[in-house]
């Protein structure tokens, strides 16, 4: 990200809100220049503005971070997830771990089931590819060998799945539930491949 816009996000992260003059003073640039950067950040849904009216003087705008800006700050979600799964693995039997996988897949699929309900298989495959792309997997699909193939070019949970293969099993079960036909994983990013690939069909 461009340096000035990065500085604006950092200031808003630390302070919660800031005015145009606050930001110009902190960064050392003119209000006109800062306003141009704020316009771009608002356009990209990274900040929001709110008009503030004081007792005297003209109203001004206070800027704060939008939800989408959180992706521009460091995260360690995988560390937390791995710690929880490590603890569950120590406490649970293999049978309980498999039950956990099934329950995760079932709940995950239930959240998306309405999007595939009533569709034929090809439309379900296309919709699942769209869903997985929305979930960060960068997915595509095509007809292949009398069935279909869904390819995912990114693994959003790779840093967890590398230590906990249960994550990959839950993902596979999730896709099976949405498609309601046999689905087999052909290759896997966690296994060292460049993509994950599922064969769909009998």
What HEC string does 153-184 produce? Answer: CCCCCHHHHCCCCHHHHHHHHHHHHHHCCCEE
Task: Tell me if residue 146 falls in helix, strand or coil.
Answer: coil
8 Å CB contact between 109 and 178: yes
State residue 47 phi and psi, 5-degree precision: -135, 160
Set out the domains of the chain in order of their start, with CATH numbers: 3-72 (1.10.10.10), 77-200 (3.30.1380)
Each residue's pLDDT expressed in tens, for the chain with a length of 202 residues: 799 999 999 999 999 999 999 999 999 999 999 999 999 999 999 999 999 877 666 778 999 999 989 888 888 889 999 999 999 999 999 999 999 999 999 999 999 999 999 999 999 999 999 999 999 999 999 998 889 999 999 999 999 999 999 999 999 999 999 999 999 999 999 989 999 999 998 7
What HEC string does 26-51 produce? Answer: HHCCCHHHHHHHHHHHHHCCCEEEEE
Q: Which of 158, 176, 175 minimizes the C-alpha distance to 167?
A: 158
> Which pTM value belongs to this model?
0.76
Residue burial 163-188, b: 16+ Cβ < 10 Å; e: rest: ebebbbbbbbbbbbbbbeeebebeeb
């Amino acid at each position: 990200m461009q340096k000035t816009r990065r500085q604006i996000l950092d200031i808003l992260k630390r302070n919660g809100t800031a005015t145009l003059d606050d930001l110009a003073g902190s960064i050392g640039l003119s209000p006109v220049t800062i306003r141009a950067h704020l316009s771009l950040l608002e356009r990209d849904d990274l900040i929001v503005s709110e008009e503030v009216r004081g007792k005297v003087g003209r109203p001004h705008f206070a800027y704060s971070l939008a939800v989408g800006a959180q992706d521009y700050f460091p995260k360690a979600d995988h560390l937390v997830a791995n710690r929880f799964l490590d603890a569950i693995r120590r406490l649970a039997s293999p049978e309980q771990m498999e039950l956990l996988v099934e329950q995760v897949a079932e709940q995950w699929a239930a959240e998306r089931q309405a999007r595939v309900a009533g569709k034929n298989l090809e439309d379900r495959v296309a919709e699942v590819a769209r869903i997985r792309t929305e979930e960060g997997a960068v997915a595509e699909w095509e007809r292949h060998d009398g069935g279909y193939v869904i390819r995912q070019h990114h693994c959003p949970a790779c840093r967890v799945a590398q230590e906990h293969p249960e994550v990959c099993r839950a993902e596979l079960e999730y896709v099976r539930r949405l498609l309601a036909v046999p689905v087999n994983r052909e290759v896997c990013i966690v296994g060292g491949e460049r993509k994950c690939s599922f064969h769909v069909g009998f």
